[in-house]
Amino acid sequence: MSTIGNSTNDRRPVLLIAVGRQRCGKTVFLNTTVQFVRAHGGNMVMWNADTMNRTHSLSLFHSDVLEPGSADPEDVKAWLEERFIDMVEKQYDALLDVGGGDTPLARLVDEVPIVSELEERGVRVVLVHLIGPERADLDYLERFLTESRLAPEATILVLNKGLVLSGRSDGVAFAEVRRHPAFLEAVGGGAVVATLPRLPCMSQVTDRGLTFVEAMTGIVKPGQAPMSFFDQSRVKNWWSRELPGFFLERIPSLWLPDMPALRAEVGEAKEARSRPRKAEAQSAEG
Amino acid sequence: MAEKKEKWLAVLDGMARPGNRSSLFWWMFEHHDEIVEATAGQRMQWKRLCVEFVAMGLTDTSGRGVTEANARKTWWQARREKARRAAARAADEAKRDAAAEARRNYPSRMPRDVRPLAGEPARHSNGAVVVSATARASPSALPIAAAKPWEDPKLPPERARHMQEQLERLDREHEWNARHVKPLSKERYKELEQEFGVERVQQRLLLNRAREEG
| pLDDT 10s digits, A266-280 | 777 777 777 777 777
Nearest CA in chain A to B171: A171
- Which residue has better confidence, A216 or B11? A216
Question: Is the per-residue pLDDT at B208 higher than 70?
Answer: no
Mapped onto helix, strand or coil, the DSSP state of residue B129 is: strand
Q: How confident is the model at residue A172 (pLDDT cuts 50, 70, 90)?
A: confident
Cβ partners under 8 Å of residue B191, min gap 6: A200, A201, A203
Distance CA A84, CA A94 (A): 10
Residues making up chain A, counted from first to last: 286
pLDDT tens figures, A92-108: 999 998 876 667 888 88
DSSP secondary structure of A130-145? EE-SSHHHHHHHHHHH
Kindly list the distances between the CA atom of residue B207 and the CA atoms of A114, A128, A247, B95, B140, in Å, as whole numbers in the listed order. 41, 28, 32, 9, 12
B87 to chain A nearest CA, in Å?
A: 14
DSSP state of B183: P
Question: Is the per-residue pLDDT at A6 higher than 60?
Answer: no
Sign of CA dihedral A223, A225, A231, A232: positive
Question: Is the per-residue pLDDT at B107 higher than 60?
Answer: no
Residue A109 falls inside a structural domain: yes
- Which residue has better confidence, A266 or B102? A266
- Which residue has better confidence, B213 or B53? B53
Q: What one-letter code names the amino acid at B131?
A: V
Burial of A271 (0-12, 13-18, 19+ CB in 10 A): exposed
Determine, for residues B167 and A179 on separate chains, whether the beta-carbon distance falls below 8 Å.
Answer: no
A193 to chain B nearest CA, in Å?
A: 6
Residue A245 falls inside a structural domain: yes
B31 to chain A nearest CA, in Å?
A: 26
Residue A258 falls inside a structural domain: yes
Residue B23's nearest CA partner among B58, B70, B71 is B58
Residue A92 falls inside a structural domain: yes
What pLDDT score does B145 carry?
46
Domain span holding position A102: 14-285
What pLDDT score does B209 carry?
60
The answer to whether the CB of A157 falls within 8 A of the CB of A163 is no
What pLDDT score does B68 carry?
86
- Which residue has better confidence, B118 or A207? A207
What pLDDT score does B207 carry?
61
Q: How confident is the model at residue B180 (pLDDT cuts 50, 70, 90)?
A: low
Q: How confident is the model at residue B125 (pLDDT cuts 50, 70, 90)?
A: very low
Sign of CA dihedral A133, A134, A135, A140: negative
Considering only CB atoms, B204 lies closest to which of A159, A166, A203, namely A166
Query: Could you count the other beta carbons within 10 Å of the beta carbon of residue A172?
Result: 19
Question: Is the per-residue pLDDT at B132 higher than 70?
Answer: no
Residue A266 falls inside a structural domain: yes
Task: Tell me the angle at which helices B68-104 and B23-30 cross, rounded to the nearest 10 degrees.
Answer: 50
What pLDDT score does A141 carry?
86
Contact residues on chain A for B144, CB-CB shorter than 8 A: 171, 175, 178
N-term to C-term CA, chain A: 38
What pLDDT score does B114 carry?
44
- Which residue has better confidence, A273 or A131? A131
What pLDDT score does A187 carry?
94
| Mean pLDDT of all residues in B155-174 | 89
Distance CA B127, CA A180 (A): 12
What pLDDT score does B129 carry?
42
The answer to whether the CB of B101 falls within 8 A of the CB of B139 is yes
Determine, for residues A171 and B167 on separate chains, whether the beta-carbon distance falls below 8 Å.
Answer: no
The answer to whether the CB of A130 falls within 8 A of the CB of A158 is yes
Q: How confident is the model at residue B60 (pLDDT cuts 50, 70, 90)?
A: confident
Q: How confident is the model at residue B136 (pLDDT cuts 50, 70, 90)?
A: very low
Lowest pLDDT segment from B58-62, B94-98, B103-107: B103-107
The answer to whether the CB of A38 falls within 8 A of the CB of A86 is no
Determine, for residues A201 and B155 on separate chains, whether the beta-carbon distance falls below 8 Å.
Answer: no
Kindly list the distances between the CA atom of residue B127 and the CA atoms of A181, A215, B191, in Å, as whole numbers in the listed order. 11, 45, 39
Cβ partners under 8 Å of residue B146, min gap 6: B128, B129
Question: Is the per-residue pLDDT at B142 higher than 50?
Answer: no
| Mean pLDDT of all residues in B142-147 | 49
Max Cα-Cα span within chain A: 75
- Which residue has better confidence, B79 or B17? B79
Lowest pLDDT segment from A12-26, A61-75, A264-278, B156-170: A264-278
The answer to whether the CB of A184 falls within 8 A of the CB of A145 is no
Lowest pLDDT segment from A108-112, A137-141, A166-170, A229-233: A166-170
What pLDDT score does A113 carry?
86
The answer to whether the CB of A26 falls within 8 A of the CB of A97 is yes
For chain B, give every domain's residue range. Answer: 2-35+43-213
pLDDT tens figures, A44-93: 999 998 877 666 788 888 999 999 988 888 888 899 999 999 999 999 99
Q: What one-letter code names the amino acid at A218?
A: G
Question: Is the per-residue pLDDT at A282 higher than 80?
Answer: no
| Mean pLDDT of all residues in B143-165 | 80
Q: How many domains does chain A have?
A: 1
What pLDDT score does A86 carry?
96
Distance CA B203, CA A104 (A): 35
Residue A5 falls inside a structural domain: no
Considering only CB atoms, A167 lies closest to which of B163, B184, B211, namely B184
What pLDDT score does B123 carry?
43
Lowest pLDDT segment from A76-90, A200-214, B82-96, B107-121: B107-121
The three-point CA angle B9-B11-B15 to 5° equals 115
Lowest pLDDT segment from A10-14, B45-49, B160-164: B45-49
Nearest CA in chain A to B176: A171
Max Cα-Cα span within chain B: 78
User: b vs e for B29-55, b when ≥16 Cβ sit within 10 Å of the residue's Cβ?
Assistant: beebeebeeeeeeeeeebeebbeebee
Write down the mean pLDDT value for chain B.
Answer: 70
Lowest pLDDT segment from A113-127, A234-248, B34-48: B34-48
Query: Could you count the other beta carbons within 10 Å of the beta carbon of residue A36?
Result: 19
Distance CA A157, CA B93 (A): 28
Distance CA A242, CA A226 (A): 24
> What are the residue ranges of helices labelled H in B23-180?
23-30, 32-39, 46-55, 68-104, 133-136, 157-179
The CATH number linked to A254 is 3.40.50.300
DSSP secondary structure of chain A? ---TT-SS-----EEEEEE-STTSSHHHHHHHHHHHHHHTT---EEEE---S--SS-GGGT-TTEE--S---HHHHHHHHHHHHHHHHHH---EEEE--SSS-HHHHHHHHS-HHHHHHHTT-EEEEEEEE-SSHHHHHHHHHHHHH-S---SEEEEEEEGGG-SS-S-HHHHTHHHHH-HHHHHHHHTTPEEEEEPP-TTHHHHHTTT--HHHHHTT---TT-PPPPHHHHHHHHHIIIIIHHHIIIIIS-GGGS---HHHHHHHHHHHHHHHHHHHHHHHHHH-
Determine, for residues B208 and A176 on separate chains, whether the beta-carbon distance falls below 8 Å.
Answer: no
What pLDDT score does B141 carry?
38
Burial of A90 (0-12, 13-18, 19+ CB in 10 A): exposed
- Which residue has better confidence, B143 or A122? A122
| Mean pLDDT of all residues in B80-86 | 81
Which residue, among A134, A159, A161, A166, would best test binding to B if mutated, counting the most B CBs under 10 Å from its CB?
A166
- Which residue has better confidence, A113 or B191? A113
Question: Is the per-residue pLDDT at B120 higher than 50?
Answer: no
Distance CA A156, CA A191 (A): 5
Question: Is the per-residue pLDDT at A1 higher than 50?
Answer: no
Contact residues on chain A for B149, CB-CB shorter than 8 A: 179, 184, 188
ipTM at complex level: 0.79
Compute and round to an integer the Cα radius of gyration of chain A: 20
Residue A117 falls inside a structural domain: yes
Write down the mean pLDDT value for chain A.
Answer: 86
